[in-house]
Every structure is written in C-alpha cells, then in structure tokens.
Amino acid sequence: MGVKVKDRVALITGSGSGIGEGVAKRLSQNGAKIVINDVVQEKIDKVVADIKAAGGEAIGMNIDITKKDQVDEMFKKTVETFGRIDILVNNAGVSRDKGILKLTEEDWDFVVDINLKGQFFCCQGAIGYMREQKFGRIVNISSRAWLGGVGQANYAASKGGVVSLTRTLALELARFGINVNCICPGLIKTPLYDALTEEQVANLIKAQPMGAIGNPNDIAQGVLFFVDDDAGYVTGQVIFICGGRSLWSSLSV
C-alpha cells in the first residue's frame, strides 16, 4: 500500500542540501507537501525547483532556526500557505570539532545553538498547531556521535541533548496525537562529509563495520517509517542508521 503521507504538510529544516534535501524529496515523491528551510537562498530555490519539476508541491523559507521570532513566522506562513503542519523533521546541524582545551565559547555556542536550541524552537513552533489538529509527527535528527567522539565535546553534547529532548517531548505530547522520534545517522555522504580530508575519510571508513558510507536516502527511509500515518503507536524511539558503527568500531579496539 506504500507510505501514507499523501497531502501531509512537511517542514524539513536544513533541507537545502544533504540529508534534509534527500528527506524532502522522498516525502514529496510519496505525496507530501514540502516546506524547504535553509539559510542559503540559492540552495532553497534549487530544491524547490527540483520538487516542482518532479510534480510535487513545495515552498521555501530562508530563516535562521536559532531566532525564535523567525521560527514562529516560518510556521505561521506554512499554515497560511498549506492550511496545516503535519510533519516536522529537525535536520539542520553543524559541527566544529576541536579538542576540549581548544574549544572556545563561540565554538560551543555556535554548535549547540543550531543543533539543539534550533530544534527546541522548531518543536515549539510546530506543536501549537499540531495540538489543535490532534495529529503530528516530529522526527529529530541526532547523530551516532551522541555516544561520544574524540574532539566532539560540543557536537556530541548537542546531539545527546536531541535524544533527551525527543524522549521528553514524546511523553508530554503522546496524549495529543503527536509522535516524537529520533534518528541517529552514522557516516553519511553530505556536504559535511565532502569537507573531510582523504585521511579523515579513510579512518572513518576503517571504523565502519560495513566498511561503507551511507547516503541521504538511508536516512530518508527511516524518516518515512516514523511519519507514516500507520506509525501512530511509535513514539519516543531512537533508531541508529549507521552501518553498525554504534555497536562496534575499530577505533575503540
């Protein structure tokens, strides 16, 4: 019967490229109406154009998710355009890896503000509308790195916060028909991955039990599972899509 998201309205943060773009296009292919969010207008325009060219419906929102007033306006415009908001995928994220003694306050705030505070603001922005509808699907993108990573104190802490936020909101919102779940990707081919050196890539692949790199479609498949109309009894869950990296790594031997 396929995934049941037809005519659902889905907003995906950080969807101008990478995982977010892949998720947006997969949801559109399954009939959802899409809101693309990013801070680079050219990326927004390209993804919106791609979705429309494939026969889908999409609009773009160039807003900074660390600014609550902008986030609230984004959801207001989404509902004004499509009449509702059914699905929120909190995907936007950044990294700035350094050893703990080299991390600055600015490094910490930059990563935590986008990766965690931004998700908090977006959840708040969506939940008011979802409560009125008695329906909502929120998928928060964390990372396998929330389990810990050398030189990633700020990143791992922010992503661990996403897991905790997910579980707490799942408890708070279950009675309103709003499901909140979490995906922890491993090594995925995205612009962040493309910025790595050959040596870094080789070491990361060596640490993968499958010896392979994932792609945005792998994460999109997990999102599809969580947002399906038939997934109404699934909430507060954390799925690792990481090629086994969360279970074992040669880096830890």
- Sign of the dihedral defined by the CA atoms of residues 47, 71, 83, 26, in that order: positive
Task: Name residues whose C-beta falls within 8 Å of residue 236's C-beta, 6 or more positions apart in sequence.
Answer: 166, 167, 170, 171, 174, 180, 181
Single out the catalytic residue among 129, 155, 193, 233.
155
Q: What does each C-alpha distance from 212 to 94, 192, 208 come to in angstroms?
A: 22, 16, 7
Which residues share a beta bridge with 188?
214
Largest CA distance in the chain: 54
d(CA 169, CA 171): 5
The answer to whether residue 155 is catalytic is: yes
Give 49-90 as a DSSP string.
HHHHHTT--EEEEE--TT-HHHHHHHHHHHHHHHS---EEEE
The radius of gyration of the chain's CA atoms, rounded to the nearest angstrom, is 17
Q: What is the DSSP letter of 174?
A: G
Q: Which uninterrupted H or E stretch holds 232?
A: none
185 contacts 241 by C-beta, under 8 angstroms:
yes
d(CA 66, CA 60): 17
Give Cα 162 distance to the centre of its chain: 10
42 contacts 120 by C-beta, under 8 angstroms:
no
Q: List, by residue number, the catalytic residues.
A: 155
